[in-house]
Amino acid sequence: MATETAQLPPSRRTPYSVFSILAGVIGLFASFELLTEYLKTLVEPDYSPNCDISVLVTCGPNMASWQGSIFGFPNAIIGVAAFMAPIIVGVALLAGATFKRWFWIVYQIGLLGGYVFVCWLQYQSIYDLGTLCPWCMVVWSVMIPLWWISLFSNWSRGLFGGSERFRSVGTTLTQWAWVIIVLNYIAIAAAAQFRLNWLFTEFGIGAF
């Protein structure tokens, strides 16, 4: 039953498919830009990346930090590779492909890994490095809805099993996913404001 509910008719998969493709393209573009800027700094040590907007809004310190290469190579490489997944999944669904339950479980675990990694990078950026990397924030902005929307969508389709009532909870959460996503954004912005006072630093609004 769970496998059947995980395979929706094409008409019901289209919005998710389009969203998945758009999110993947945006995340891929941001990761690629971050990677190319990093490579330019290696070629030209005095090069100023296009994301160095101010002392606070900059990617230079992030790229040069150990947090920017947590696995021994630039995190942007992970982004370039990982954001191909939602693009491929979205295109495949639009083409009428169906996937087994195990595939969606693996895909959801991958999204969880991406979301947790992004949350860790947010903490490091705000509380340790004290900067807001523009391209990193673009990646954050697409990874957050990718995680929540995919989670609730798969929940409502029976990916996690359970009764019809349990799946109906996922359906309800799917309808309210935008609220959770906005609250997630607000939590990040609030943390950055209280820690870095970015509104005053960048716009002169409300000094703490």
Instruction: Please state the pTM of the whole predicted model.
Output: 0.88
Q: Is residue 191 part of a domain?
A: yes
The per-residue DSSP string of 181-203 comes to HHHHHHHHHHHHHHHH-HHHHHH
Measured between alpha carbons, how far is 189 from 193 in angstroms, rounded to an integer? Answer: 6
CA dist list (Å): 65 to 43, 123, 128, 159, 160 = 18, 14, 10, 39, 38
Q: Is residue 179 part of a domain?
A: yes
pLDDT recorded at residue 68 = 93
pLDDT recorded at residue 199 = 72
- Domain residues for 141? 2-203
pLDDT recorded at residue 203 = 67
Q: Is residue 208 part of a domain?
A: no
Run means of pLDDT, 10 residues per run, the chain, 208 residues: 44 82 97 94 88 87 91 95 97 92 94 97 95 94 97 89 86 94 96 84 62
CATH of the domain at 48: 1.20.1440.130
Q: Is residue 95 part of a domain?
A: yes
Q: Is residue 62 part of a domain?
A: yes
Q: How many domains does the chain have?
A: 1
pLDDT recorded at residue 202 = 65
